Structure 1
Amino acid sequence: MKKWIWLLACSLFLVSCNAQESIIEWVDFVKINGNHYDRIHTGILADSASIGEKIGEVKFKVAGHVNDANYKTKEGDASFWEKGTKVFSIKGKPEFAAIKAKDEINGYAIYHKVSKDQTFQGKYQDIDKAIRQIEIYKEDKDNHPVLLRTLSEKQEIQGLTQILNEGKTNSSFNPNTTQGDPITYRLAFYTEEPIAYLYPLFYDGEQWFWIPWDTDLLSDEVERFITK
């Protein structure tokens, strides 16, 4: 499997060593104004009008330039963004930051401040406000999301969420990959908050399943909302 393992990334970097050097696989981060922000993949910007002022910019891209496992990140460092990349605040959400990213849904990659007091769980069960809209995307051959449907009617939203809520958790589930990787979809849940929730959904030719935090197996009934 390849496309959904990114949900499990939770540390700054992973290190693989040999006799000559260390190869570092950096987790997506940016360090601005003394704060360390990690990229979140279960949240997207709900509306570009929520973008606030510029809070800083990237001074150094560490990926491809740093191979020292003991490297201490410094102000302006980022994993993958080039020098000069602007970092923005999100109105009403000081714990978040945003960077323009043309291939992301609604045009921005979202980052959350790392601190002892506040973490971003991003679980589907954490959505504590009424869902006003659900967008359904399908990944193209380049793994870019393409909008398929938008559900905004209350009855449609309730119909889909009921099926999702009835999913059966199965942490040991292994999808059928005999015909290749499962088809990948994404479900975006919008409330009145500036950050919407985003989760992957898959079909392996036999079973629908999604990952709201753990792997949940879904009824075939979900297909009528996805492929209609």
Structure 2
Amino acid sequence: MLHAMTPEEVHRETPTLITETLALVEADATHREVEQALLAAGWTPCGAGDWAIALRSPDGTTAARISPFDPTGPYTAALYREATHTRQVPVLFAHRRLTGGGDLQLMEWLRPVPMQEAIAFHQAIKSRAPEVTDLVEVITRIHTRALEELPWCGPLDDNPSNVMRGADNRLVVADLFYADGPNLYATALKDPDLVATRIPEPERRYLTEIPLAASGPWDPIEQAALRTALATADSRNTST
């Protein structure tokens, strides 16, 4: 059984792994190519959500979160970096944007916690409890920026599964920021020109490939209709 490492120990143990992993990721890699490269290197599937899949490193210390389309990825990475001092967010080893709007995060391996414990942590954040004051300050600052800069940015995600235990058994919160998927995808079907205008094609090329492991599965006919609607809107924008 792996011993519980402190964040400092994790940082010391993983540089070679992270360097070797990033060397597998080409500058223009898509989410598909990253997944294939990591699987070939011995990483194993360990979960999937609506927006991303997760792989675990061969030594068990690191998780790779791979998303085909995640506009909030850079904001989540900023939260993990800027709130490092609180020790209430995951240790982030690396973050890469992927071709087509995807996102790769390499972070410490996290474990689930009982639901009531997770709910209590979310409630502490919501009520700005003293023990999370510094964390809330960073969350608020970055989320405010995301709301200003990103179309269809959602509110904070209080899903209990987002609260987990880090390598040293401390509680951390992950994936607080997300795109308002139901609104975004409904708009893409009803008014594809609006989505095509507000989110450039290179940043949403794989918009229909998110896993939807919790909310799905997607109807293939609806997926195809969405791709066609956006491709048609892109053609109109290109010709004008």
- The answer, yes or no, to whether TM exceeds 0.5 is no
When normalised by structure 1's length, the TM-score is 0.30
Q: Which has the higher helix share?
A: 2
When normalised by structure 2's length, the TM-score is 0.29
Q: Whose relative contact order is higher, 1 or 2, with alpha carbons under 8 Å and at least 6 apart?
A: 2
Q: Which has the higher strand share?
A: 1
